[in-house]
Chain A
């Protein structure tokens, strides 16, 4: 995700074992093999990495110092018990990274499990227990879990057992340290912290009727003062209401970054701070009106900055911008800002960009056009394209009009009907339009899809001579009767690629219904044009 922009020098959220092994050596594979053989110790519950001071944390997370101090205060000094905490705030506000870094600073053991990777209750239970029992899946135990547990009741029993074990272990360790007087601060302390990340996802598990109250009440159920729970969620506590009720944990709120904070974050790791800052003066404000998520802003601003630097000699690496130059650059970038605002979220795939750069020299005459053509050619067989078009038509057109549209005389009928548009028909059209906006594309049975497919393939046969060979093939297949199986295969491919949605079988008719999910733009511009198929002629326009 987009945690990197916030804390560039700290690696992304990783599992702790990975974290420590990759930190120690770049040659990961042999290191991992070696560490596989060693048994895990309680030290593996610490967040890996070099010790970090609180000041380092606050400086690496701009605009978060009050939250960091609040968390540290609530966690309290060594060995002090903790009521459950509930950390919440929008996406990319630094919740997880800050919690992990604070634990790295405090050097206290924690059990981290994300409800995104542990996507159901059994996996969550087993992951927590594996970590607590210092169990590592490997070849020797054929990658099994430490405990098999599915029921919440088993989980609580195992958890209590494992926690008492760990807590005793910790206590022994700190007593030893104190008696040996090795450290004056008592080392890791006796507390163990269970962190549940992405907690909002739990609400969707089996309607969350039991698991959510269980986790919220876990602290009261366990009654082990050395254990404490931290929930990290991207939605506020009020979205967790259930009719069970629970004593609310202590909330800690991470607000979204303000414009000033975003500025500071984006400025980090820029080669030319002055130039970038003058760029942000111009560009940041309009972009902030659209979104305030750092990750999205960073990706949106990157190409714009490249454009901003274009007039400068060496892409703006060593330039100190003067007032005059700023004005010049501002005039240069101004027209681009408005247009780039509208493709803030456009995802440009890296491959197409590579293609673009490689072809740049050749196609400089009309780069826009060539790009489009490159986009058009998503690799799909001709019959799949026809199938996609027929699915689109089946979803858009009312089934009653099929006969008139696809009849051999269909075209003329269509025109006649259009001419006779009366008041009533107009009203009807409006209603239909409204319905289309609300309901979206309609569903259709397989038979209708096949019928339309055959119609348009046969129509496409007649006028076009270019595709003759192709159509002959299709025709031949038709004759052999192998077309059907081929079409079904193509259809399932399209369903898997999410171009066509396959619904559950209809209880009344008993057949499966389909729905096309592609937009009109894509159908018209990309697929139909690549086939030179007159799609608009067949589209029932209300």
Chain B
């Protein structure tokens, strides 16, 4: 093997390592003890050790690492108490109706305790089975941890699942922890009175990290280990380059700008992922340009992109619709747009005047691009010409888009500007 391919081998290895770190959710929270991590671990481990019931809500915006932290805690606890914990995981997206929720609980409990799961069991059987297992587990001093992801979705409807779970926990013999995870900060307000009174109102709030913390996380994620299969001089050089990038003022500007949109951990990881993927394997080190391209490829302006794709005729139709909107004609459809199009043509003698069927196709293109949409959802009783439509683009965006459009006819810009 030549030196070159060997060098490339390192970089591929390093790249794979970084990508695995970014895609796996737990690494970012490892070695950086989160205060929530220790709190949560204390709460669960004490209720396991003292054999009592508990219910906790983990709240925070999407992508703030609620599940990742919980997974770390559960991992630790499974090592700490290998025989006295069993975990049941539910997701509100999948099990928000009672029937499938009870079924899934029964299935997971059966798997856990090597019992035979019957698919044909009724929902009632399943719920009774759950209560029975909880009782048995309590007698055996075994804690069942219920993890309810998307907790707010379980609070829709009659909340039978939540009620029967929490009600079963009221008895002395049972021993269970219910962990609700939700993005809605008012998740506990959604509960019915009978459920809320059985819920111990512990809440853990997960907040996005500050800019300094984000930067610390960035270093943590991108630093290569010196004592691994990678050659140490390569790793040292790599880490030095990363540090150089982070110290660069221009990088800081981009980084701050990116986090100002959304500073959650998941959002940060997306940015790192893009930057790392753009790393040049030939060079083998990250550069500031990688982060710049990542920034521009993630932060997109879909409406302006869409405008850039439009043909001139499509722009005409958009401008006509905008004019109608300014005239406060609150309902417009293809026919009224065509009328306006004709007025414009008559008064300015534009070179772009096409037949009706051509315009109709351009109109349909705009609907496919989702720059305009039908206001009624009733659908197909009328042909497209008659259905009322509305613009999905603001006049500022249209204005900006027309300016950026290279071969935009001057008349269109004038038509828009007159009103602005």
A102 to B250, CA, bound (A): 35
Q: How far is B308's CA from A256's CA once the two chains are assembled, in angstroms? A: 9
Q: Are B94 and A83 interface neighbours, CB within 8 A?
A: no
Beta-carbon contact of B308 and A83 below 8 Å:
no
B311 to nearest A CB, angstroms? Answer: 5
Cβ of B298 within 8 Å of any chain A Cβ, yes or no, is: yes
Q: Is A406 close to B, CB under 8 A?
A: no
Cα of A346 to Cα of B15 in the assembled complex, Å: 53
Q: Is the CB of A345 within 8 A of B358?
A: yes
Tell yes or no: A237 within 8 A of B by CB. yes
Give the complex CA separation of A73 and B386 in angstroms. 47
Instruction: For the complex, give the distance between the alpha carbons of A235 and B270 in Å.
Output: 21
> Per-residue CB proximity of B246-281 to A under 8 Å, as 1/0?
000000000000000000001101100110011001
A83 in contact with B23 (CB, 8 Å): yes
Partner of A503, one of B300, B365, B381: B381
* A11 sits at the interface (CB 8 A): no
Determine if B339 and A153 form an interchain contact, defined as CB atoms under 8 angstroms apart: no
Additional A-B contact list (6), CB under 8 Å, known A81-B19, A289-B352, A439-B386: A80-B16, A80-B20, A83-B269, A210-B93, A225-B24, A253-B305
Stretch in contact with the other chain, from A117-125, A130-138, A336-344, A415-423: A336-344
Partner of A437, one of B183, B335, B357, B380: B335
- Contact among A82, A296, A342, A439 with B354 in the assembled complex (CB-CB below 8 Å): A342
Point out the residues of chain A lying under 8 angstroms from B79, CB to CB: none
Q: Which of A242-250, A350-358, A376-384, A385-393 makes up part of the contact surface? A: A242-250
**B386 lies within 8 A of A251 (CB):** no
Number of interface residues of B (CB under 8 A): 67
Interchain CB contact (< 8 A) of B24 among A81, A214, A296, A438: A81
Q: How far is the CB of B280 from chain A (nearest CB, A)?
A: 9
Could you mark each residue 379-406 of chain B with 1 if its beta carbon is under 8 Å from any beta carbon of chain A, else 0?
Answer: 0111101101000000000000000000
Contact with B370, one of A210, A239, A247, A441 (Cβ below 8 angstroms)? A239
Q: Is the CB of A255 within 8 A of B309?
A: yes
Q: Which residues of A contact B214 (CB under 8 A)?
A: none
Q: How far is the CA of A79 from the CA of B17 in the complex (A)?
A: 10
Residues of A close to B211: CB separation below 8 A: none
Give chain A interface residues in 206-250, CB to chain B under 8 Å.
210, 213-214, 217, 220-221, 223, 225, 234-239, 245-248, 250
Task: List chain A positions with a Cβ less than 8 A from chain B.
Answer: 70, 73-74, 76-77, 79-83, 90-91, 151-153, 156-157, 210, 213-214, 217, 220-221, 223, 225, 234-239, 245-248, 250-253, 255-256, 288-293, 296, 341-346, 437-441, 501, 503, 515, 517
Chain A, residue nearest B108 (CB): A157
Given contacts A77-B12, A80-B15, A245-B183, contact A437 B302 (CB under 8 A): no
Does B375 make an interface contact (CB < 8 A)? no
Q: Does B141 contact A (CB under 8 A)?
A: no
Chain A residues closer than 8 Å to B278, beta-carbon distance: 73
The distance in angstroms between the C-alpha atoms of A528 and B289, with both chains bound, is: 69
Q: Kindly provide the distance from the CB of B28 to the nearest chain A CB, expressed in whole angstroms.
A: 13
Known: A151-B100, A248-B270, A438-B335. A238 touches B386 (CB 8 A): no
